[in-house]
Amino acid sequence: MSECKANIESSGYPLAFRVDPSGLKLEPLPHTEGIATIRTHARTLEGMQKEAIIQYGPTGAIWRVVCDEGPWLNGTDLAPFPLAYFTAGMAASLMSDFIDEACEREVHLDSFDLAQDNFFAMEGSALRGTMAASVQPMRVTIAAHGVGCSNDFEIVAETAVHERSAANSCLREKLPSRFAVRANDRELAWPGLAADAVSALTDPSDLFENIRPMNHGDTTLIRKIEAVAEAAGDPVGLVAEQKRIVHVKNQGTIRDDGLTSLDVLCEHPPGSRFRMLSDSASLSGDQERAPTGLAYLSAGVAFCFMTQIGRYAQITKQRLNGYRIIQDTAFRSSRNDEPQANAVETLVYLDTDEPDDKSLQLVKMAEQTCYIHAAYRSATETEVTVA
């Protein structure tokens, strides 16, 4: 596991904030017309905690967020778990797409809520290399009230999710992930699809020491609103043999100030409930007072993959002293084109005493057991219900 002694408690920072870019030396993002590229730099902290810097390409906004794990992975439960970021980010994106679709169709909304259930599975043996993650279809229930008949809202919902949503594209399409791996700053020969867009980027180890918040209001972007009882869970995620389902629930609503409020928790195994605020990007006319849904979703991909690195290293007792990643995700949300999600590209930095073959096996198993990389490489059809 990591030797990093930094942790959420000692930083003195909130769980999420917008970063002052003046002190950061960030390499430019790739630019393709109509494509929103999001770069996530992430590192491990003490225990199961992690920290990420998210560059939101379309506007240049930079956000810092942290994550933790619940009792199922011996986490300290101080921040949302990785699947909370992915689930909340997906919901925020879908809600924004629904509102935009309703506006274009001149369907007036008085209120709008979204309930969401995501299901992930893990089965197999870590020691034998057969453990793998999988994903089941996401279930979305939309409760909309306004001027119009029920059929209007059903059309808006189906169109927004299946024809407009770039976020939902990463569930609907098969998108095998791409990787580059460096162990002790030495490039290893990754046997799978190559992450050419990020393979030459600089180790982000020093980047996190220069993070400073912008003075961007007093709104608390992420907070725990309900704690799970300590006895409600045990470290089932650290067992070498797995056969279980993870159920994540989320309830989203639009606040009076226009921010999207997302209440997310792990239903099984039981976990704490966190409230996360999201805002549409300023290019869409909003003030970008909080991370966008796609920014949260991208952070979730990075955090979940990093959890699997640490978990596999702990189960197999690998000598892993530290690890960091740089990850690119990209989406096309243009109304005039088909929505699109690009495959995830990830550069993995390992500080390790293990031989090259074990380092490559570590990354392979982390991808194989990552719930969100499983969601990207699978094709599922989101189930939509309008109440």
pLDDT tens, position by position, for the chain (387 residues)? 444 568 999 888 999 999 999 989 899 898 888 899 999 999 999 999 999 999 999 899 999 999 999 888 889 999 999 999 999 999 999 999 999 999 999 999 888 899 999 999 999 999 999 999 999 999 999 998 887 777 889 999 999 999 999 999 999 999 999 999 999 999 999 999 999 999 999 999 999 999 999 876 678 999 999 998 765 556 777 788 889 999 999 999 999 998 999 999 999 999 999 999 999 865 556 678 999 999 999 999 999 999 999 999 999 999 999 999 999 999 997 666 789 999 999 999 999 999 999 999 999 999 999 999 999 999 999 999 998
DSSP helix/strand/coil, 212? coil
Other C-beta atoms closer than 10 Å to the C-beta of 379 total: 12
CB 116 within 8 A of CB 161: no
Residue type, 130: T
In a domain, 192, yes or no: yes
Q: Which residues contact 66 (CB under 8 A, 6 or more apart)?
A: 8, 11, 15, 16, 45, 49, 50, 51, 52, 79
In a domain, 346, yes or no: yes
Q: How many domains does the chain contain in total? A: 1
**Two tokens, residue 212:** 């400073």
The 3 state secondary structure assigned to 101-115 is HHHHCCCEEEEEEEE
CB 320 within 8 A of CB 359: no
Q: Give the Å distances, CA to CA, from 245 to 100, 174, 188, 263.
A: 34, 21, 34, 20
Tell me how many degrees the CA angle 313-119-373 measures, rounded to the nearest 5: 45
In a domain, 1, yes or no: no
In a domain, 3, yes or no: no
In a domain, 2, yes or no: no
- pLDDT at position 1 is 40
User: Residue 366: phi, psi to the nearest 5?
Assistant: -65, -40
- pLDDT at position 284 is 57
- pLDDT at position 274 is 98
Q: Which residues contact 129 (CB under 8 A, 6 or more apart)?
A: 361, 365
Closest CA to 319 of 363, 358, 369: 358
Which residues sit opposite 79 in a β-bridge? none
**Two tokens, residue 146:** 């306004």
The C-alpha torsion from 184 through 190 and 195 to 197, rounded to 10°, is: 50
In a domain, 39, yes or no: yes
* Cα–Cα dist 265/268, whole Å: 9
* Cα–Cα dist 327/298, whole Å: 8
In a domain, 94, yes or no: yes
C-alpha atoms less than 13 angstroms from C-alpha of 275 in its C-beta half-sphere: 13
Range of the domain at 58: 8-386
- pLDDT at position 3 is 46
Question: How deeply is 380 buried, as exposed, middle or buried, from its count of CB atoms within 10 A (0-12, 13-18, 19+)?
Answer: middle
Other C-beta atoms closer than 10 Å to the C-beta of 9 total: 11
In a domain, 173, yes or no: yes
Helices and strands in the chain, H and E counts: 7, 17
